[in-house]
Amino acid sequence: MVTLEAVAKRPHTNDLFELFPDLPWTRPGATDERARILRQVDETRARAAVNIQRQKAASERVRENLSARRRR
C-alpha cells in the first residue's frame, strides 16, 4: 500500500526558464536581468504594502472623526 507521503507531489511551476534553464533563445545575461527585475518587483511590493497600511490608517482616522462628529 502506498501512502500519500510516498507519492509527494512536486511543486507546480509555470516558469519555463526554471524548467528549461538553457533555452536556446535566452540571452546569456537574461538571468542577471531577470534577477534585477525580480528585485524591483519585491521592492515595489514592499512599498505598496507600506502605502496600503498608511492608507488604511488614514481611512480609519477619517471614520473616527466622522463618528465623533455624529455623536455631538
pLDDT at position 2 over 70: no
pTM: 0.52
Whether 12 contacts 18, CB under 8 Å: no
Whether 17 contacts 24, CB under 8 Å: no
For residue 62, the one-letter residue type is: V
pLDDT tens-digit readout, 49-68: 999 999 999 999 999 999 98
- Measured distance CA(41)–CA(44) in Å, rounded: 5
- Measured distance CA(38)–CA(32) in Å, rounded: 10
Distance from CA of residue 33 to its chain's centroid? 18
